[in-house]
Amino acid sequence: MEKKLRGGILLVLGFMLSPLSWWNDLFFNLPIAYGFGYLCSLWQPQWLLGGTLVGYWLSNLMGILMMQFGATDVVERSEKPRNVKRDLLIGLASSTAYTLVIVGLLQFHLVDISAIFPIS
């Protein structure tokens, strides 16, 4: 029972951070990403945008991994060992693909972020 409860909590939190809940980006991923970018800009001011992109990617990656581990805890009935390497690779690949789509949308000006990051 404890494993299923932990899995359910991980699943819900992971969903909130994952690319599957794009509507929650405003409340979760973007503030986390901007905070990460801000911390990077304390080191080098020009790293704000790059740090924000990396923070966004990391928050999506964490969401996917949390969902995978949570779903495994909730659904899996046997006590066989988890393939962590495979789970990490799947999470890394899907989060990277999602972030590349977002960067492409920004690069081709299909999404306008000039109000957040004014380019001089």
Is residue 115 a part of any domain in this protein? no
pTM over the 0.75 mark: no
Asked whether the CA dihedral 56, 62, 65, 71 is positive or negative, the reply is negative
Give the model's confidence band at 117: pLDDT under 50 very low, under 70 low, under 90 confident, else very high.
low
Can you give the pLDDT at residue 57?
A: 86
Is residue 112 a part of any domain in this protein? no
Is residue 41 a part of any domain in this protein? yes
pLDDT digits (tens, 9 = 90+) for 31-51: 999 999 999 999 999 999 999
Is residue 114 a part of any domain in this protein? no
pLDDT digits (tens, 9 = 90+) for 5-15: 999 999 999 99
Q: What is the distance between the alpha carbons of residues 102 and 14, in angstroms, rounded to a whole number?
A: 19
Range of the domain at 10: 2-107
Is residue 116 a part of any domain in this protein? no
Is residue 35 a part of any domain in this protein? yes
Number of domains in the chain: 1
Is residue 117 a part of any domain in this protein? no
CB atoms within 10 A of CB 77: 5
Can you give the pLDDT at residue 119?
A: 62
Is residue 95 a part of any domain in this protein? yes
Q: What is the distance between the alpha carbons of residues 60 and 53, in angstroms, rounded to a whole number?
A: 11
